[in-house]
Structures are given as C-alpha cells and as structure tokens.
Amino acid sequence: MKKLNCAGTILTFDQTRVMGILNVTPDSFYSGSRYQGMDEILAKAEEMVEAGVDILDVGGESTRPGATGAVSSEQELERVLPVVEVLSKNFDQIVSVDTSSALVITETAKAGAGMINDVRALRREGALEALAATDLPVVLMHSLVDQPEPSFIPHYSDVVRDVSDYLLERIQVCELNGIDQDRIVLDPGFGGGMFGKTPAYDLSLLKNLKRICDLGYPVLAGMSRKSFIGAVLDKPDAGRLSASLAVAVMAAQVGANIIRVHDVAETVDAIKMVNAVRSTG
C-alpha cells in the first residue's frame, strides 16, 4: 500500500484522499478560493476539516493565466508562513504548501508543513536542495512554462507519454539530489497557462489517467473548476461544481490517490462513495 511520511504523520492511500485549496492570494482564478484575513482563513480551514478534508493546501502565488505578475519569494513567504504556523498548531490535518520557492520550502518546513506541492517540479533555483534538506514528500507537477502565458499554444505528439516522460525525468533528478522515491507524488498538471494543456489534452489525460497511475507513484489530480470543464459546458468557473465532482470521481476510480479541490464538502461525499464501493467485498 502506498503511503507518505508527512513530517511524522503517515498518510496512507488505502482510500482516495481529498486536498482542500486555501489560496492566500488576491488573484487566483476562482474567486471562491481566495482568502485574505487570518480569521477568514481559519474559518474556511475549520469548515474543510469538519467536512472531512485530509490535506490543507496553502498557496501564496497564483499560477493562472493573466495573474498580476511574479511574486518574490519574500512576499510569498510573508503570505503563507503565518498561515502554515496557525494551521499546523490548530488542526491535525496535513498542511501542504503550494510553492516553487526554495526559501518558502525551507521556512514552511520549519513551521510545520507536511508536504510541498510544486507546480514547477523543483525546477527553480535551489528548490531541489531545499526539499532534499527536509524530510517532506513533494508533489511533482508537469508544466511547460515557468510563468503563465495566455498566448502559449502547447503541442504534444502523445500527451500522456510526454507527461509521463517528463515526470519520470524529474524523479531521476530528485533521486540524484537525495530525494527518495518514497517521497514523491505525481501530478499530470491539468489546465492551461503554464500547465500547458488545451481542453482536448486535458480530456485525453483524464481518459488515460490510469497510465500515469500505473507508473507506481501516488498521483494527485487537480481539476476543480478548470478551464477544460468550462470548454465542455460553456460555463464560467462558478458553474462548474457538478462537473468537477464528476471528473474527481473518474480520477479516483482509475487510481488517483489525492483529489485537489475547491469544494471540499461536496467532493468528500463523492469520494466517500468511491471508497465505499472499492472496499466492498
């Protein structure tokens, strides 16, 4: 059975886990996931915990296309460090930090973070060394560009193969830098912008997600309210809840171990049904 040691808390994957998104940014793509004041952040985290969330994912830098510019590591740390400190003291759930910054990795690990979630797969300067110096697991996500570029048009000869090859290469780099395989989670990187997927590529990734799961590592799927859902439904992000639940269930059924979402209560219920069916003899 796959499992992760998250700063002393063992996260097992005998069932699919739910990660709740807590963005402490002013410009994340879905306005319903932006939280600014500490009271608001704590209230939302408590709501997620009561709903059954397994992991709280704190992010201080928006990666959506058209975000309001690059955020310095110092500014990002100023946003997320107090949140990590408070969440780790007040809740038993694992606190994940959505960052690519070596500084943020180092300081939030000291403050109680149990996981690092890096959309750039430890490609920024110093990130590999910073993660290796902790004992934390890391989510390695596939992306094509370092910053969101709305005009970027991606191309793959075989999106699942190309994504898999990229992730396997990053695993090798991690191993060469002292990060063991049992600390690694894979994320195929659903979405446009820096993640480099058109709606057609996202749909192909979801259809063939089992190929990523069959690589043998825990897999995170983050599809909540994303643009490929909007392309299919012709609806804005606020109208994508039911479809987000549908794709979460699809991902869980083929082996995704962590589902990263904005809507925790609804997703927990949906994933509970998947887990219940899976555990029935």
What are 36-68's pLDDT values in tens digits? 688 889 999 999 999 999 999 999 987 655 544
The two three-digit tokens of residue 190, written as one number: 């659903």
Task: List the domains of the chain with CATH numbers.
Answer: 3-279 (3.20.20.20)
Q: Which of 120, 260, 272, 278 is catalytic?
A: 260
When comparing pLDDT for 28 and 48, which is higher? 48
Q: Is residue 225 annotated as a catalytic residue, yes or no?
A: no
| Residue 35: predicted pLDDT | 57
Give Cα 159 to chain centroid, integer Å: 19
List all residues 6 or more positions away from 149 whose beta carbon is below 8 Å from its beta carbon.
65, 193, 194
Q: Is residue 260 annotated as a catalytic residue, yes or no?
A: yes
List all residues 6 or more positions away from 75 whose beta carbon is below 8 Å from its beta carbon.
60
Q: Angle, to 10 degrees, between the axis of helix 38-51 and the axis of helix 264-279?
A: 20
Structural contact between residues 18 and 273, judged by C-beta atoms closer than 8 angstroms: no
The string of pLDDT tens digits covering residues 67-109 is 445 789 999 999 999 999 999 999 999 999 999 999 999 999 9
d(CA 270, CA 273): 5
Res 235 pLDDT > 90? yes
The string of pLDDT tens digits covering residues 135-169 is 999 999 999 877 656 677 889 999 999 999 999 99
Half-sphere exposure of residue 36, counting CA atoms within 13 Å on the CB side? Answer: 3
Kindly give the residue spans of alpha helices, DSSP state H, lying in 111-177.
127-132, 159-176
Structural contact between residues 187 and 220, judged by C-beta atoms closer than 8 angstroms: yes
Q: Which of 44, 120, 183, 226 is catalytic?
A: 226
d(CA 103, CA 97): 12
Res 241 pLDDT > 90? yes
Strands 9-12 and 3-6: antiparallel
| Residue 67: predicted pLDDT | 47
Of the listed ranges 20-29, 173-182, 243-252, the least confidently predicted one is: 20-29
Res 27 pLDDT > 70? no
